[in-house]
Amino acid sequence: MEAVWFGFGRPLRAVLFPILIAIASTAEPAERVPAPLNDAPRTAGPLQSAVLAGGCFWGVQAVYEHVKGVRRVLAGYSGGNWVNAHYEMVSGGATGHAESVQISFDPQVISYGQLLQIFFSVVHDPTQVDRQGPDVGPQYRSSIFYVNAEQRKIAQAYIEQLNDADVFERRIVTRVKQLAGFYPAEGYHQDFLISHPMLPYIVHNDLPKIADLGRLFPELYVENPVRVAR
């Protein structure tokens, strides 16, 4: 809890978080996959949006909150109807929703393809069908929800590129679908890792992803995460 102060006059989390990240870095390392051959050029302009699903949204959100050029990351639901975009219903696996994140990013600093490169390198295992690690069900599926034709072309070409190069031992099963709607998750899910860095699930499943981000993408890693709650 960041309101707790002790001894050295620093927030408790500020001291413990780097230690936890260091411990997490001893987990089985991920590998940096090749960059997409087809990507949008980095150019000045308004913020753009990317919507990705790769397992529990706590860890996916936390990774992108540490990425240079990312201005905000919302945890939420995509793929179903707004009526059932609620955690208790989505968790049942029958709503059509996937736990997703909406990433607002500066296209002059980071490209859409770079976000996908991080997605396939450290965020999740894109060869698992309707699950990620201990989380099982279609709500944890791997999906890219494109918001325009350019994103669709980049995503489809990138998956084909990685499959043709046999980057993974199994074929990528990530679904590329047009975004029909993104519905923000309940407030207690936002910035969940930042608020609960010592939760065993977080320590085991999600902190290693942030450690891998810093190791594999040092040019894109930022130590201080952006937050939904500012």
Q: How far apart are CA 56 and CA 61, in angstroms?
A: 9
Active-site choice (56, 123, 202, 211): 56
Q: How far apart are CA 157 and CA 10, in angstroms?
A: 47
DSSP letters, 17-85, are HHHHHHHHTTSPPP-PPPPPSS-PPP---S-EEEEEEES-HHHHHHHHTTBTTEEEEEEEEESS-GGG-
Judge whether 56 counts as a catalytic residue.
yes
Q: How far apart are CA 191 and CA 26, in angstroms?
A: 24
Active site residues: 56
